[in-house]
Structure formats: structure tokens, C-alpha cells
């Protein structure tokens, strides 16, 4: 088993664990090269390796390799947060179409943290729900075809966890399960469908195939919720 055949190493997850316990700028500055070697470069290699298959799945995926388009930020926005720790102790690799006017849109994603690896689909309304893809594409379609989400639940529920969020008294509230009725879509703020793995799964040669299979299975949800006719 060559190093190139293994997407991530134990050092990737060790870095996130150490960052969670030392979440301050001084520590990060001292470990910047470690961050590049164990997190950034492996994620970029993984993106490059998946790119041909993802373009076959959807030729309009944005694969520029830019932060925001394909990679989450390690820095946290702490302006309106009680928790002032400056860094995220996880990273996300994202596949999405370029969104006009910088609107929130759906993503196929891979998330890495010290404790868990997640692979799935997610869509958020963002700060302007009325202008989001969730409101302009997903909600009208779900209202017109309520049976579609029920069909996806039957197809995927054994392998995937589903949950969604609504706003209750100004606070995002998590709703376990599938948004299968019109009342859900009238108030939905986000929807996530995912599977969880142990970090060790990402250190095996079979991981790439598992991620690609997940994306292929969940792409119909992205297409339904995000891509206009």
C-alpha cells in the first residue's frame, strides 16, 4: 500500500485533536507547516483525484480549488459568537455548482475532524432565505412533488442520516428525520443527508471509492434541490 493510495494519514486527525486542545493563534502560527502538510495538501490531492469523476457526475461543478468554492476556512468568524476561539477544529471539502449572486446553494461534501468523518449532502438558506436556492428551487419543487422526498427516504434511509432545521423564536432548531410534508418545506432553513465514519476509514485505499459512491447516491438530491430546469 503506497502513500499515494491512502487519502489521509493519522497525522491529519492528530492535528485536529491538537488544535482543539490548543485553539489559539500562537499555537497555530507554530504549527502552520504541520497544518499545510497534514490537512491542506492531502485535501487538495483528494480534490484532484476526485475531480474527473465529479465532472462526469456534473460537468458544471466548480473545481477551481479555491477556499469557499471547494474548501472551508480554518479561521472562525468570531464577531457575533460567544466562543472566541479563532479556528475551526475541522475542515470541509465541497463540490457545488457556481452560484450566481453569491447565493447559498447545495453541496456534496466531505468533513474531517478528530472524532468523525462525515460524507453527504447539505443545503442552507443563508442570511437571505428568500433569495436562496433552497427557497427559489427546492421549496417549490418539494411542494409540487411531495412524493419525491418520500421516495428518497425509502431509497437512502438505511445508509444515511437525515435532519433539517427550522427557525423557532429566532433560534435554529434541529429536526431529525426527512422533510416529507409541505409544512416542513414552508419553514425549512437547512437540510443535511449524511453518513458518518470513523477517522480510520479515511486512511484506507478504499476510502476514495466510498466517498464517490456516496456522492453518486446523493447527487439526485442536489439536482432536485438546486438545479433549475
User: Cα–Cα distance between 83 and 23 in angstroms, integer?
Assistant: 11
Question: Model confidence over 12-65: pLDDT tens digits?
Answer: 999 999 999 999 999 999 999 999 999 999 999 999 999 999 999 999 999 999
Q: What is the pLDDT of residues 45-57, one digit of tens each?
A: 999 999 999 999 9
Sorted by where each starts, the structural domains of the chain and their CATH numbers stand as 3-226 (3.30.930.20)
Residues facing residue 121 across a β-bridge: 108, 193
Residue 39: CB atoms within 10 A of its CB come to: 22
At 82-112, the pLDDT tens digits run 778 999 999 999 999 987 655 778 999 999 9
Burial class (CB in 10 A: 0-12, 13-18, 19+), 127: exposed
Q: Nearest-5° angle of CA 147, CA 180, CA 167? A: 145
- Of the pLDDT bands very low, low, confident and very high (cuts 50, 70, 90), residue 1 is very low
Amino acid at each position: 500500500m503506497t502513500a499515494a493510495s491512502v487519502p489521509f494519514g493519522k497525522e491529519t486527525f492528530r492535528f485536529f485533536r491538537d488544535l482543539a486542545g490548543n485553539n489559539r493563534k500562537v499555537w497555530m502560527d507554530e504549527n502552520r507547516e504541520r497544518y499545510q502538510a497534514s490537512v491542506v495538501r492531502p485535501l487538495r490531492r483528494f480534490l484532484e483525484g476526485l475531480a474527473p469523476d465529479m465532472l462526469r457526475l456534473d460537468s458544471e461543478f466548480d473545481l477551481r480549488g479555491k477556499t469557499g468554492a471547494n474548501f472551508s476556512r480554518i479561521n472562525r468568524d468570531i464577531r457575533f459568537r460567544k466562543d472566541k476561539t479563532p479556528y475551526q477544529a475541522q475542515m470541509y471539502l465541497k463540490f457545488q455548482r457556481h452560484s450566481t449572486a453569491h447565493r447559498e446553494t447545495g453541496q456534496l461534501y466531505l468533513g474531517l475532524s478528530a472524532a468523525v468523518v462525515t460524507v453527504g449532502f447539505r443545503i442552507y438558506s443563508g442570511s437571505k432565505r428568500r433569495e436562496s436556492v433552497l427557497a427559489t428551487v427546492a421549496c417549490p419543487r418539494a411542494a409540487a412533488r411531495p412524493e419525491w422526498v418520500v421516495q428518497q427516504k425509502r431509497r437512502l434511509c438505511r445508509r444515511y442520516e437525515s435532519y433539517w432545521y427550522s427557525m423557532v423564536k429566532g433560534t435554529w432548531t434541529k429536526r431529525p428525520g426527512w422533510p416529507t410534508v409541505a409544512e416542513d418545506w414552508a419553514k425549512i432553513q437547512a437540510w443535511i443527508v449524511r453518513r458518518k465514519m470513523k477517522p480510520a476509514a479515511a486512511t484506507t485505499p478504499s476510502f476514495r471509492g466510498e466517498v464517490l459512491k456516496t456522492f453518486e447516491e446523493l447527487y439526485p438530491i442536489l439536482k432536485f434541490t438546486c438545479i433549475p430546469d
